[in-house]
């Protein structure tokens, strides 16, 4: 089963992969531009610096950007249109996943998801192919979220607590005593 958290995590990972690929390409160009003019090299490094600074900005929604972040992203989107496309694709799915769509017609929700998948195909950004395939594979589970708006976050939280409990107690030797302790700890 796949939930909202994991879908968004994979989506944001794909966006960061695009940013990292652009940064790597730009760094590799630097080795070719050894004889370049100092002004050109300075601009070159500033784009690498902007790509690095944009790391956390890309996690935010556009309306949450501050003025300096907006300026950084405008420069990057102007220089790297593929990054802008990747960001727009990411934001489109994040907006689709918001609570306003809960209770909407399942046909409409599925159509919006198909449109997003088509947009990913048209963009030809390799990093998003894996996300698209994952969404197509788990489409029923993803769309089910919009029936009631419930996730398995509580179960994930409980599982995390049990894992921490196990780690703090260096595992278990007696299963019955472990179940007794868990019942007492979480009661």
State residue 175's pLDDT score: 84
Categorise residue 150: left if φ over 0, alpha if ψ from -120 to 50, beta otherwise.
Answer: beta
Beta carbons of 142 and 1 less than 8 angstroms apart: no
What is the spatial distance between Cα 181 and Cα 187, in angstroms, rounded to a whole number? 10
Beta carbons of 96 and 135 less than 8 angstroms apart: no
State residue 64's pLDDT score: 94
State residue 42's pLDDT score: 53
- If DSSP codes are grouped into helix, strand and coil, which group holds residue 149? coil
- If DSSP codes are grouped into helix, strand and coil, which group holds residue 174? coil
* pTM for this entry: 0.76
Question: Is the pLDDT at 186 greater than 80, yes or no?
Answer: no
What is the spatial distance between Cα 68 and Cα 76, in angstroms, rounded to a whole number? 12
Categorise residue 149: left if φ over 0, alpha if ψ from -120 to 50, beta otherwise.
Answer: left
Question: Is the pLDDT at 4 greater than 80, yes or no?
Answer: yes
Residue, of 167 and 16, whose pLDDT is higher: 16
State residue 83's pLDDT score: 95
What is the spatial distance between Cα 79 and Cα 47, in angstroms, rounded to a whole number? 8
Beta carbons of 119 and 92 less than 8 angstroms apart: yes
Q: Could you tell me the two tokens for 128? A: 């998003």
Neighbours of 75 (CB within 10 A): 14
Report percent pLDDT > 70 for the chain: 90
Mean pLDDT of 47-56: 88
- pLDDT single digits (tens) 93-104: 999 988 788 888
Per-domain residue ranges of the chain: 4-148, 153-186
What is the spatial distance between Cα 170 and Cα 175, in angstroms, rounded to a whole number? 13
> How confident is the prediction for the chain on average, in pLDDT?
85
Helix-, strand-, coil-residue percentages of the chain, each rounded to 5 = 80, 0, 20
């Amino acid at each position: 089963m796949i939930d909202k958290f994991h879908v968004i995590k994979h989506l944001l990972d794909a966006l960061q992969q695009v940013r990292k690929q652009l940064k790597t390409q730009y760094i590799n160009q630097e080795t070719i531009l050894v004889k370049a003019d100092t002004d050109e090299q300075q601009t070159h490094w500033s784009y690498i610096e902007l790509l690095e600074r944009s790391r956390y900005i890309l996690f935010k929604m556009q309306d949450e950007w501050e003025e300096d972040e907006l300026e950084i992203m405008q420069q990057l989107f102007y220089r790297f249109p593929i990054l802008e496309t990747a960001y727009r694709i990411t934001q489109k799915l994040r907006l689709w996943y918001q609570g306003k769509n809960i209770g909407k017609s399942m046909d409409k929700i599925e159509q919006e998801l198909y449109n997003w998948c088509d947009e990913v195909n048209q963009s030809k950004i390799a990093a998003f192919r894996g996300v698209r395939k994952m969404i197509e594979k788990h489409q029923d589970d993803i769309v089910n979220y919009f029936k009631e708006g419930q996730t398995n976050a509580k179960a994930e939280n409980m599982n995390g607590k049990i894992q921490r409990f196990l780690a703090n107690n260096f595992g278990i030797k007696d299963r019955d005593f472990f179940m007794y302790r868990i019942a007492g700890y979480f009661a």
